[in-house]
Amino acid sequence: MSKSTSIHSLYEVYEHQKTELLLHLLEKDDKLNTAMIFVLKSDDVHAITTALSQKGKHVDSIHGKKKLEARTATMEDHLAGKIDYLVVSEAIARNLDFSGVKNIVNYDFPELPDDYITQSGNCTSGCLYSFDNPKPSKQLIKLEEYIEGKIPRVTAEGFDYAPHALKITDRNKPRKRGPRSKPLQNKKSKLKRK
């Protein structure tokens, strides 16, 4: 990895508590007054942006459906300090120049070791926080083999971690109500007449 003075930290948290932990860190960690937040799925971009906005944070997002000019303007606004938090899908981030970003939060651990290395090189003096499952993901194992070292594991002070993952089974899921399709034997066959 590049030589940087950034603080690398890994928070081991279950999927259902990630947003809660992110909000906790943004409230309690004085270093995170501005950050880029990377997520894997574009659906999460909207959900996290909404959650931060509802907590009164000045936030915007960059994702695949945003036009190039709008992405560039949003990125410039974030680097200029007009936007405190910027939520970005990881696929789009590969095509962005985000050098000069002070802090990075990996809401989802990066899929490729090179993505983490790039983030480390661009975040030279701030914090690089990553979330991963308590059972290490394949991506984390691959990265730590690549860099021949471990990312320091930390816990957020005052955060109530779940003792186990939330399990959703078919019995817990609400049953869909609504019209049912007719059985096949009641459907009329479509014959072509000659």
Residue 50 DSSP SS3: helix
Does 84 fall in a domain? yes
Q: 118-153 pLDDT, tens per residue?
A: 888 887 678 899 999 998 889 999 999 988 999 999
Does 52 fall in a domain? yes
Task: Please state the domain count of the chain.
Answer: 1
Whole-model pTM?
Answer: 0.79
Closest CA to 139 of 115, 120, 171, 165: 115
Does 171 fall in a domain? no
Tokens of 181: 């399709």
Domain that holds residue 39: 7-165
What angle separates helix 42-54 from helix 18-28, to the nearest 10 degrees?
A: 40
**High-pLDDT (> 70) share of the chain, %:** 83
Looking at every residue in the chain, the average pLDDT score rounds to 83
Does 61 fall in a domain? yes
CATH number at residue 26: 3.40.50.300
pLDDT at 188 (0 to 100): 58
